[in-house]
Amino acid sequence: MSQAKKKSPTREWLHAFLFALIAASGIHWLIATPSQVPTSSMERTILVDDFMLVSKLHYGARTPKTLLQMPLMHQTIRGTNIPAYLPWIQMPMFRLPGFSHVKRGDKVVFNCTTELDKPIDVRTYYIKRCIGLPGDTIHIERGCVYINGEKETPYPGLQYRYYLQTAIDLTDDFFQVHHIREWMPMHGGYIIHATPAIAERLEALPYVERVQMLVSPASAWNPDIYPHSEALGWNEDNFGPITIPKKGMEIAINEDTLNVYQHLIMLQETNGKAYVEDGKLWLDGKAVTTYTFQQDYYFMMGDNRHNSIDARFTGFVPADHIIGKAIMILFSTDATRTGFQKIRWSRCLRPLHD
């Protein structure tokens, strides 16, 4: 009997590498993926440069839409500006079964809804907290969020913008001691982003003259606020009421509903095939009097309420944009420090609670 030819070390190494690449790609696609936080929109719950573990098992993994992608890459090849995908082949996207659904309060990772020049599955990753579910009605009044008429239960990490007026100049050490990461001098005081508990502690200090939450007046329309309608006159602190679309929900087409939903229908629901003209919604060349939503939507907000570009600015998040649930901080670094102090050891392998 002839003996099987022994594999060369190079061939064995290549086989091991390919097996590891396939296994890692499978885990990345089906089970979990790491994600780095680039902005402070979720402070204090999640900090800039936290590296999170995002579970895809909770809501179910999506099948790839963009077929030609480099394994374990997203948007660009690491360390370069070279695209890590080719958009030539686009497939229908489906979601595999998960063991849970998006719940109110979940910290959800999803694809950016405004990068319309990219396929859904290669758009930038965002993370926000789910505030509203399909069918919920959201109303924000003087910065307070109401869900179906009930005031939102506050989460421990929620931050707001305050004006801090003091009798003395403050140092960097002061803000560090009081766990304030975002601040700037302003008119004899400071603009800070802090939790209500921190603001209350500051107000008790003898050299602090005033701590006041800064809230936009209801009369101040912000054109950056979704759905960008001057007729509604909304801003980041006075918003809605607005009902979050649910799959199968039917609306009558009129001036009021077009003010709220026309951007969503045109860009997310019909991919540019619908348009509004003469106060009417046109679809497939016909003016329609009703519209039925094709998928569920969610209302996401950052915990850093006055420094977050979220659903108040970009609109609802469609179900097909949702990637997974952030469940753990794997690793965390602080760009303002060096050496071993750069690592936030207390945040490593830390489960994400409320």
Mean pLDDT by 10 residues, the chain (354 residues): 64 81 84 92 93 96 94 87 94 95 97 94 96 98 97 92 95 94 92 96 95 96 96 97 98 94 93 88 92 97 97 97 97 87 92 83
Q: Residue type at 293?
A: F
Alpha-carbon distances, residue 99 vs 23, 31, 96, 322, 324 (angstroms): 22, 12, 10, 15, 12
Q: Residue type at 217?
A: P
CB neighbours of 254 closer than 8 A, spacing ≥ 6? none
Question: What's residue 272's pLDDT?
Answer: 80
Question: What's residue 82's pLDDT?
Answer: 92
Q: How far apart are CA 271 and CA 283, in angstroms?
A: 11
List alpha helices for the chain, DSSP H: 9-30, 172-177, 196-203, 255-264, 311-314
Q: Residue type at 338?
A: T
Q: How far apart are CA 289 and CA 12, in angstroms?
A: 65
Q: Which two tokens stand for residue 160?
A: 């707001």
The answer to whether 129 touches 107, Cβ cutoff 8 Å, is: yes
Question: What's residue 205's pLDDT?
Answer: 96
- For the 160-213 domain, the top CATH level (class) is alpha beta
Closest by CA to 112, choosing from 124, 128, 129, is 124
Task: Name the one residue in this structure whose structure tokens are 């001036």.
Answer: 255
153 three-class SS: coil
The answer to whether 31 touches 57, Cβ cutoff 8 Å, is: yes
CB neighbours of 53 closer than 8 A, spacing ≥ 6? 32, 33, 34, 326, 327, 328, 329, 330
Query: What residue spans define the domains of the chain?
Result: 160-213
Q: Starting from the edge strand earliest in sequence, which strands make up the sheet with 160-166, in order?
A: 182-186, 189-194, 160-166, 208-213
Q: How far apart are CA 207 and CA 257, in angstroms?
A: 51
